[in-house]
Every structure is written in structure tokens, then in C-alpha cells.
Structure 1
Amino acid sequence: MTIEPTRLHILTYAQTLRGGGVELAMLRLAAGWIAAGHRVTLVVGAAEGPLMANVPAGVERVAIGSRRYLAMLALPVIVRRRCPDILFCPGNHYTAVAAWTALWLRGSRPPIVGKVSNAPDRADHGRLFAAGYRAWMALHGRFLDHAVAMTAATGVAAAAAMRMAGRISVIANPPAMPHPPAHPGVPAAPPVVATDRPYILGVGRLVVQKRWDRLVAAIPRLARRDIVLAILGDGPERPALQAQAAALGVADRVLLPGHAADPFPAMTHACVLALPSEYEGVPGVLREALSVGTPVVATRSSVAVDEIVTDASLGSIVDCDDQDALVVALDHWLADDVVRPAPVVPPGADSAARYLALFHSLVTA
């Protein structure tokens, strides 16, 4: 006789759903957990943003009513009332909330699992801040029962930085899937990148971390003068990027269409996808582009980049501050005779199930 596993109640949380890979991956996992028959509660500071459309049916939503990060400190009260079996922290941005919850609830808390979404060593930190960040990372083993890294190399780095040897699992994010085509009789959505010219594509929030300014600066230096840069995303850096493009005389060649619910059509038609970030965790956008046979150019913003771009036939990796190398790499993939890579099947199809196995092991320990 087969014994069915216990139905779990998983509680996870986010500040808002205004966009971001961490929140999107969390929602994909939640969909898998619900499909497997489990209960999921999502606590959001403010129930707003384009990713609200991605919240799976069946998720129980609790809105705190404020987008401020400090509002998330109400989480332990909600956890105590909701009594979940597992608390899932979806990324590094949220581990302070997990620490506060563990401290506040002490012995009455559920097991806490945290996902490592950023590199343990951040390239944007100065010496003093880097020392403080390392000290903070070293405390994670005191309030996380287990952590999940998305690649083997990040798992090794995280285990050392967080002092959690033996308590790190490697589970890829569930892969993004293209949206299904419109039903017969329903007009197709307009193209996200509205241009007939060949284009370089960027996908991600318009924030300092992503260093989109490096791509804007590259545009006037490219050998091909017909190339357009399109960045799908929104954020506080939009005015600065627009001003930079205008100052370089390429305002008509830099498109900022905003957030795209489904970036796959734009990826499929792009000449190359570029990610010039200063630091990353495991950039899923690289895997998404490679899954449709679009080459990538990326900065060496984390150890995971080399784990994704495993061969020169897939794309180019350059040092973060080497603007000349970035231009050369883009020129290479923009050449008329370049051979695009064959599509690469992304990992993570079984991610939701692997998380559930981990959760069951912690609950029954």
C-alpha cells in the first residue's frame, strides 16, 4: 500500500509583486506546490505590481498594506496565526525578515528554508560594507534550517559563507514557459519590442545592479549602425538611461518598453541577449534566452554565469568593468554570418517536487 505524503501548508512572502526574478520564481514554485495538492499562503507587503497576474489560482493571499520593507516585520504575527508547516524565504533580500521571525517566534516557529538568490560575495561592496555583509551571511545558519542554491558552484560558496555545511541543497529554479498562443478569434498581443530593426535585448529591472548603462554606452561604438537596444523592465533608473541615451545621440536606438509578462517572443527574435550586471545570483534570463536558441553576452557577475554559458558557441562572458570586451563580444554576435546556438533545455522541471521532498524531510525530522 502506498502512503500518501502529508499535505503541507507552505507560507512564503514578498515585499510587492512589482517585478523581479526572485518573486517570479517563487510564484512558479507556488504553482507547482498547489498542483501537487499542497496549501500555499503568500504574504505581500502590498498586493501590487505586474506579477499579480502570475499569482496561481488557489494561493491564499495576505496583504500587510504597505510596500515598505519594514512592514514585513509583521510576518511573525501572521505566521503565528496561520500556523504553516514551512516558512519559505524566497531570496537574500528577505532573509532579515526570516531572522526577525525566527527571533520573535523562537521555539514555536516552523522550519525556515531560504533560497540563495544572490552571490555570497557582492562585487558592488566596498571593503567596510563587504566585511559587514560577510558577517551577516555567517549568521544565516543560526536562523535558517536549510538553504537552497540554484547551482553547484553557488551552493559551495553559500555553504562556506553561511556556515551551513550539510544544510545546503542544489535545486534549480523552475523554468519559465512561453505563454500559449491566443485562442482562435482573439487578437494576438502587439509585439513587446516594436521595431523592424535588429536588436540587442536586455531583460530585467531598471536598477543600478543591472548596469544597463554599460549597454547604452556600447551602442554608439558598435560596428553595425542599424542595431537597436531594447530593455524589457521598469524601475528607478529609467530617467538616467534615457538621459544617457540622449547625451550619446542614440535616443532613437534605445527602447524601454517596460515590463513584459512574456519575454519569449522578444528573446526569440533578438540578435543577442545581454546581461551587463555588476552582481547576480543565478540569472535565469540567460537560461531563458538559450532555451530559444538566442546567444548571450554577460558579465562575470557571479560564479553561476560560467555554469550556464558553458561553451563559446552559446555566448560570451566578459569582465564586469571591461567595456571594450563588451563591445567586441556584442559585435561578434551581431555579425551577419554568426551561427546561433541550438536551443538548450533548461533544468528545473522537477524543482517544485524536489522542494516538497526537502520540506517533508524537515517537517518529519
Structure 2
Amino acid sequence: MCLKRRDMLFPPLPASHILTFAQTLDGGGVEKTLLRLAGEWVATGRRVTVIVGDVAGPLMRDVPEGVDLLKVGTKTMVGMSAIARLTAEIDPDVLFCPGNHYTALAAWTRLRLGAHCPPIVAKVSNALVRRDHNVPLAAGYRAWLKWHPRFVDHLVAMSPAMADEASVMMGIARDQISVIPNPPPRAGSPCAPHTLPAGRFVLGVGRLAPQKRWDRLIDAFADIDHRDVSLMILGEGSERATIEARIAAQGLDRRVVLPGHVEDPLPAITQATALALVSDFEGVPGVLRESLAVGTPVIATDSSVAVREIVTSPAVGSVVVPGDAAGLVAALDHWLEPGRSRPQPIPQPGRNAAAAYLDLFDQAVLERRFKRGLRRAV
């Protein structure tokens, strides 16, 4: 009886149970952000279940207490299609797709479950205009994006420019897209002092993956004028052997270090002379915001519409066209000039991101209930 009275006084919130998923816990930015949000959602009393393909990875230690972790046992996208079956079994109130890399799984879940599928809220995590695609692949990708309104109930972009791009590329009405910046990361275990190079250094932070194009930074680093400067790239991934071979080929073994994944790169970002991000494509690169928040200048490729929203002035950083090798060398030389002024720190947005998502989840559930009520009435 007491429980019934409590339920009457405190009715369950519309999105009481949130289901989300990730392929691996290898250390990607999408997955790191997802775990930060999940922890904050749990702290407000929501139930959060995270389906993971493979839990082996450095982010396993970042899984917040109270989050229900469900392992699929394989990180292949085919194996991850079990999400549709698991969603039916778990019966959550809302399904959150944490990045556009994963929207095929959201589409498969909607196709399999039909009207029984919970509302799907999906986040745009990477640029939708991809310079790395050839003509046939680009055409197919554009066609795929236009399918998203068929299975996504609401879209989240991390910046206004990305919301505008999503509206055009996906054909989703602008009022069906919310802008919610990623939450800034919390400080974790500091970088061990011995991992920081002595003297001045350029820093790269990100997975050792083809998308990040660390080969560009290594090649440019071989051509800069400042031979007293080191390069450190924090991250781990499938391209380690290829990157190490490139470092050796350029004769940079003593000037370039790859310490691997670190839980908290902020100490290294704070000490760096400049931070470089040279990707083919990005979403809203959180590492650029982290760097500018501590007054470290940035050098970035024009890898998404959001980059120039972050790097708003030549006083805080340089933006170069992907593939412009000479431009990248010039930008590095500019920021490595002795006595160059560092920018004033720029506060990061997104401190209320978790609450904004919960409001959106509740709204999506209520809208679904309203539409079902209308159908029954008819």
C-alpha cells in the first residue's frame, strides 16, 4: 500500500528507462561522452541500460556506478544487430543512438519492432558532408541520410551549424532537431609526469584511426622550422603500427612519442605549446574546446562546419583545408614561434547537457503516447 501511495504522489517520469548502445569501449569520443551522460542520468534517478558489443577497452573503468551494462559478445555491426531483439526484451521508454555511426542499428531496430519500437533520439556525432568519400560512395551516403526521418523521432546536433547541416542533408524539419553541446569532461587521473615531453611540444589527442589522419601531422612536423619541439599523440587504435612506421620513415623517432590512451589528457593539453587536430572529418571536436578552455591555441583542419564555430578568430587558432600540407606547416610554425601569445581561456558550453537530454527524452515519450492516443480515438 505504501508503494502505491508513493507512486500516486510521485508518478514515474515519462523516460524512466533509457536504453543506449556502443560498439566498443576502446576510447572513442562518442563513447566517452555517452558514459558521462549515462552517469549523470543515473544520478537523477533514471534507469540506464547500455548495450556494448565488446567491453574490453580502456573505457570499461569509466562505466558509471548504477548503469546496467549488457554485453553482446561481438563488436561487429552484424553482431550488434541483436540490439533489436534486446530492445524488445528490455522494453525501455526511449532508445538513444549516441552517434551517426550507429544509426544503421537504430534503423534496423525500428524496422524489426515497428510500432512497438520506443521513440528513437539520435545524435549527430560526425560531419554529414564527407570529403573522404569518392563520388559513388558520397551519392549512396546522401541517399542513406535522407532515410533518417523514417526511423528517427528526434535529432540532436552539438552546434547550430551542425543542426543546419543535418536539416539539409537528412531532410529533417529544423524544429525536430535540438542543439545540445556535449558536456565538458570531468578531470580524471592526471597524466604521469614522465609521459610529458621535456620542453615545448605539440599535442594530438584522438584514436589512432584512419579518420584522424595523424600521417598529415607527422609529415608536417618533419618540415617545421622549430627542431627543438616535440610531438606527442595521446590515443590508441588500429593504426599504431602504420603511424610508428611513418615516424621511423621520417626519422622522427626521438621527437615523436605515442604514450597510448590516457584517462585525462587535460594536464597534457594545459602544458602543450599548441594542440593539433588534422582529421578528414569530425563532428564538434571536444578536444578543441578543451584546449581553448585552458588557453592552449589550436591548429585544426576544416573537418566539419563546427570547427569554425569553435575557432572563431586567428587569435585562438588556425584552420587549414584538409590536405593543404604547406598550410599545415605554416600554421604550426606560426604557433611555435617563441614568444607567441596564448589565447585567453574560453569557457566550454554543455554543463546542462544531461538535463537537456532528459527533457528531450521525456518530450519524445509524451509525444509518442499522444500520437497513439489519437490513433486509438480514430
TM-score (norm 2): 0.92
The one of 158, 177, 181 aligned to 1:172:
181
Q: Retained in 2: the 8 A contact 1:147–1:167?
A: yes
- Larger mean CA deviation between 332-341 and 193-202 belongs to 193-202
Given the superposition, is the C-alpha separation of residues 180 and 204 from structure 1 closer, same or farther in structure 2, using an over 3 Å criterion?
closer
One-letter amino acid of the structure 2 residue matched with residue 170 of structure 1: V
Q: Retained in 2: the 8 A contact 1:115–1:148?
A: yes
* CA deviation profile, 1:141-178 (whole Å, cap 9, x unmatched): 10000110000001001011111112111100111122
State how far apart, in whole Å, the 1-side matches of 2:310 and 2:357 are. 21
Matched, 1:49 2:51: no
Q: Retained in 1: the 8 A contact 2:197–2:232?
A: no
Matched, 1:122 2:130: yes
* CA deviation profile, 1:333-365 (whole Å, cap 9, x unmatched): 111111111111100000000011111111111
One-letter amino acid of the structure 2 residue matched with residue 286 of structure 1: L
In structure 1, the partner of 2:47 is 39
Given the superposition, is the C-alpha separation of residues 254 and 162 from structure 1 closer, same or farther in structure 2, using an over 3 Å criterion?
same
The one of 17, 30, 35 aligned to 1:27:
35
Q: Retained in 2: the 8 A contact 1:192–1:266?
A: no
Which ranges of structure 2 fall in alignment gaps of 5 or more residues? 1-8, 368-378
Q: How does 1:13-162 map to 2 (within 5 A)?
A: 13-162=21-170
1:120 deviation in Å?
Answer: 1.1
Q: Runs ≥4 in structure 1, deviation > 4 angstroms?
A: 1-7
State how far apart, in whole Å, the 2-side matches of 1:87 and 1:26 are. 13
1:2 deviation in Å?
Answer: 9.8
State how far apart, in whole Å, the 2-side matches of 1:191 and 1:92 are. 36
State how far apart, in whole Å, the 2-side matches of 1:6 and 1:180 are. 36
In structure 1, the partner of 2:242 is 240
Q: Work out the number of aligned pairs and report it.
A: 358
Q: Retained in 1: the 8 A contact 2:15–2:94?
A: no
* CA deviation profile, 1:121-157 (whole Å, cap 9, x unmatched): 1110011100000000000110000110000001001
One-letter amino acid of the structure 2 residue matched with residue 50 of structure 1: P
- Larger mean CA deviation between 299-308 and 234-243 belongs to 234-243
Q: Retained in 1: the 8 A contact 2:15–2:365?
A: no
One-letter amino acid of the structure 1 residue matched with residue 206 of structure 2: G
Query: Equivalent residue of 1:356, what SS?
Result: helix
Output the aligned Cα RMSD: 1.5
1:240 deviation in Å?
Answer: 1.4
* CA deviation profile, 1:86-110 (whole Å, cap 9, x unmatched): 0000001110000000000000010
1:272 deviation in Å?
Answer: 0.3
The one of 261, 268, 273 aligned to 2:263:
261
1:7 deviation in Å?
Answer: 5.8
* CA deviation profile, 1:157-205 (whole Å, cap 9, x unmatched): 1011111112111100111122277xxxxxxx62373421311000001
Q: How does 1:279-358 map to 2 (within 5 A)?
A: 279-358=281-360
Query: Equivalent residue of 2:237, what SS?
Result: coil
One-letter amino acid of the structure 2 residue matched with residue 176 of structure 1: P
* CA deviation profile, 1:308-353 (whole Å, cap 9, x unmatched): 0111111110111111111111111111111111111100000000
Q: Retained in 2: the 8 A contact 1:192–1:257?
A: no
Matched, 1:12 2:14: no
Overall identity of the aligned pairs, in %: 52
Query: Equivalent residue of 1:265, what SS?
Result: helix
* CA deviation profile, 1:194-224 (whole Å, cap 9, x unmatched): 4213110000011111110011001221111
Matched, 1:216 2:224: no
Q: Retained in 2: the 8 A contact 1:64–1:71?
A: yes
Given the superposition, is the C-alpha separation of residues 303 and 236 from structure 1 closer, same or farther in structure 2, using an over 3 Å criterion?
same
State how far apart, in whole Å, the 1-side matches of 2:25 and 2:133 are. 26
Q: Retained in 2: the 8 A contact 1:206–1:238?
A: yes
TM-score (norm 1): 0.95
Query: Equivalent residue of 1:229, what SS?
Result: strand
Which ranges of structure 1 fall in alignment gaps of 5 or more residues? 182-188
The one of 179, 190, 193 aligned to 1:191:
193
Query: Equivalent residue of 2:37, what SS?
Result: helix
Q: Retained in 1: the 8 A contact 2:295–2:342?
A: yes
In structure 2, the partner of 1:186 is none
Q: Retained in 2: the 8 A contact 1:42–1:60?
A: yes
One-letter amino acid of the structure 2 residue matched with residue 111 of structure 1: P
State how far apart, in whole Å, the 2-side matches of 1:257 and 1:296 are. 21
Query: Equivalent residue of 1:364, what SS?
Result: helix
State how far apart, in whole Å, the 2-side matches of 1:93 and 1:192 are. 36
